[in-house]
Amino acid sequence: GQSLEQPSEVTAVEGAIVQINCTYQTSGFYGLSWYQQHDGGAPTFLSYNALDGLEETGRFSSFLSRSDSYGYLLLQELQMKDSASYFCAVSSPGGKLIFGQGTELSVKP
């Protein structure tokens, strides 16, 4: 089977850095994706790691360690608009995504 674990909630202040961890167990694995979802909105793609290491996209970075079945999303210079739910997702054979339960990030002033 496949399962992903991530914290349910994280709180941080504006301007800070926050890391959202994700551990996974899967029988087929192509890579780890991260999606952002604002309340009532559609999920939007943030980042993808197929290989070990760090991928940087502006204020957001994502890391993957395949040997540890672990990844994280790093958000820097937090802004109020970053308050949202963040989902890690494993890309499986066939292209489907298996999502974690999501981490609700609250950014405080």
Partner 1 sequence: GAGVSQSPSNKVTEKGKDVELRCDPISGHTALYWYRQSLGQGLEFLIYFQGNSAPDKSGLPSDRFSAERTGGSVSTLTIQRTQQEDSAVYLCASSSGGQAGGYEQYFGPGTRLTVT
Residues at the site binding partner 1, with contacts judged by CB under 8 A? 30-31, 33, 41-45, 48, 50, 87, 89, 91, 93-102
Question: Which of 44/79 has CB closer to partner 1?
Answer: 44
- Please check whether residue 37 is in contact with residue 84, taking contact to mean a CB–CB distance below 8 angstroms: yes
The least CB distance from residue 15 to partner 1, in Å, is 28
Strand partners, 21: 72
Q: For the chain, first and last CA: distance in Å?
A: 41
Question: Which of 60/99 has CB closer to partner 1?
Answer: 99
The least CB distance from residue 107 to partner 1, in Å, is 19
Token match 């979802």: residue? 37
